[in-house]
A = this chain, B = another copy of it.
Amino acid sequence: MGRMMQGAMEDWADMLRAYGMKATPQRLAVAGRVLGRPRHVTPQGVLDELRREYPALSLNTVYQTLQRFAAHGLLRELEAGGRVWFDSRTEPHDHAICSVCHRIEDVLAAPESVPPALQGWRIESESRVWRGVCPSCRRAGG
A residues in contact (CB < 8 Å) with B: 79-80, 82, 94, 96, 99, 107-110, 112, 114-115, 117-118, 120-135, 138, 142
Contacts and interface: CB of A to CB of B under 8 A. Distances in A.
A52 to B, nearest CB: 30
Contact of A128 (B124, B126, B142): B126
A115 B110 contact: yes
A130 B126 contact: yes
A130 B109 contact: no
B128 A128 contact: yes
Contacts of A128: 126-129
A76 to B, nearest CB: 12
A133 B110 contact: no
